[in-house]
Amino acid sequence: MYRYDNYDQAMVDARVEEFRDQARRRLAGEMTEDQFKPLRLMNGLYLQLHAYMLRVAIPYGTLSGPQMRMLGQIARKYDKGYGHFTTRQNIQYNWIKLEDAADILADLASVEMHAIQTSGNCIRNISSDQYAGVAADEVTDPRPWAELLRQWSSFHPEFSYLPRKFKIAVIASAQDRAAMRLHDIGLELVKKDGVIGAKVFAGGGMGRTPMVAPEIRDFVTEDEIIAYVEACLRVYNRYGRRDNKYKARIKILVHELGVEEYRRQVEEEFAHMKTLGIDPPVAELDRIRSYFADPAYESGLSEEVNRSDPDFALWLDRNVVAHKQPGYAIANISLKPVGGIPGDATAEQIELMADLAERYSLDELRVTHAQNIVLPYVRKADLYALWKELDEAGLGAANLDRISDIIACPGLDYCSLANARSIPVAQKIATRFAGNGKEAAIGEMKLKISGCINACGHHHAGHIGILGVDRKGTENYQLLLGGSGAEDCSLGQITGPGFDENGIVDAVERVTDLYLAQRSEGERFLDTYRRLGMAPFKEAIYG
């Protein structure tokens, strides 16, 4: 994986000391909160419902063992013993003290991490496929591009004050595991006539106005990707609305201009960009690429896995996926134990995952947008030993992409923007389906819960989505069906009137019962919904 060079380290170290002085001045009364707030937000420090919250960037979700270990140490030393992995492949700490914040940033910098650009109207953490570099189906490894974009977007002077925040995803497989088309810009690396380049999508997003990004360019060669993305951003930066934050995202601009006109303006800007000669040097891309070379895989490894332990066999079937290299597997660690808090891990669990990565996965981990952890390089012969240690630590849930593998935002339990709690609903649904034994029969199910219209819990993209709203001061939950963040991307549709916390759990069960009764052989819930349409589900829900 990528390692900081002297420039990277110097920039991050300087930023820590700059923030240390800013925090000191705020605590000493030399700055007001109005003056300090934008400065702390530039360093990922929010003031949330109960305390300061620090959001730490995990570039394209990739972590080394020492980095993960540091995340655990921070949870123990500065927080209340846990961290929350987010739908943007980051981690958040919910109980941070301002007086500790600079020390935390210094600890992060010591392992080549930071919290820069995890807030504000700038280009946020680049997201990518959690299986990048090891997926059997990828055209090329998307991580060098994600890293190049990270470097290009870090402290980019032109894009530090965009109309609104900006999110970019890069994938390199036909199977989309990163919700690429629900980003402001989505890049799908493809091969055309033997040449690597990118298909470019722009204007996607969730929030109060969800949109699936339309294709803007069917192919741009790899040496021109940065210039093309820059052209997309320049048009947005120039014409994106700054008078209304609810209409300020690029999706609104693309929608209001129309795809054709937005594309025309981007192409015009792109032609101009090409005259400036500011494409990243090929040598730099090659330098970055060298960090992502395949590891020294062992050859002749056994493909056999002993399935005699039924609990292990279940985890193997659910959480382990194919690796491109014979003898290896990709192991998913679910952070969704039944009744637990989606995405939360204790300091001890985080440190254990770091240790397991060191021993079993070439010292590397990935964070997924579904709030789980991936060990990307596990020898098949080690899977049983790995699972035993995970299971003993409460990390052995065998539920990847099942109904209890719920994406949930922190909701009103932690978030000052939320209107309703998300976590208790996730807990009740997971518990209900663990108790009724239907999870296995239902099969693939992506259930996603947001506690407000900002959609951090990706409810628009859930096969079943739940949106918490405030209805006259009480929590109310709307149900959506038919969303997908995958390659068959679609937006869920609201079924009708909302429910209270218990009612929404019953409604979800009525939906899944209808699916189980109506599905064709081998048909996923999403496919049954698309075949039958909303009407029978509404009938089942509301009678």
Partner 1 sequence: MKLLTGNDLATGDVIWWTGSGWSLHVGDAVDAGAEGEAILARESEARRVNAGYIIDAEQGANGPLPLHIKERIRASGPTVRADLAINTDIPIVRA
- Judged by the rule CB under 8 A, the positions of this chain that interact with partner 1 are 26-27, 29, 33, 47, 49-52, 80, 94-99, 341, 412-414, 416, 418, 421, 423-424, 427, 473-475
82 vs 529, which CB is nearer to partner 1? 82
211 vs 418, which CB is nearer to partner 1? 418
CB of 63 to partner 1, least distance (A): 25
CB of 474 to partner 1, least distance (A): 7
Task: State CA 171 to chain mean position distance.
Answer: 13
Spatial CB neighbours of 395, under 8 Å, sequence gap ≥ 6: 333, 334, 335, 337, 345, 349, 352, 353
DSSP assignment of 473-505 equals TEEEEEEEES-B-STT-B--EE-SS-B-HHHHH
> What gap in Å lies between CA 15 and CA 118, rounded to an integer?
14
50 vs 77, which CB is nearer to partner 1? 50
At position 511, the amino acid (one-letter code) is: V
Nearest Cα neighbor of 123 from 269, 11, 230 is 230
> What gap in Å lies between CA 101 and CA 95, rounded to an integer?
11
Nearest Cα neighbor of 61 from 371, 519, 347, 302 is 371
CB of 540 to partner 1, least distance (A): 28
Token readout for 371 is 């709030």
288 vs 412, which CB is nearer to partner 1? 412
CB of 19 to partner 1, least distance (A): 15
97 vs 307, which CB is nearer to partner 1? 97
> What gap in Å lies between CA 97 and CA 359, rounded to an integer?
34
CB of 82 to partner 1, least distance (A): 9
8 Å CB contact between 163 and 235: no
CB of 413 to partner 1, least distance (A): 4
CB of 416 to partner 1, least distance (A): 8
Walk across the sheet containing 62-64 and list its strands: 62-64, 364-367, 373-379, 328-333, 320-322
181 vs 421, which CB is nearer to partner 1? 421
167 vs 336, which CB is nearer to partner 1? 336
Token readout for 76 is 């123990």
Task: State CA 114 to chain mean position distance.
Answer: 17
285 vs 504, which CB is nearer to partner 1? 504
CB of 106 to partner 1, least distance (A): 18
8 Å CB contact between 156 and 149: no
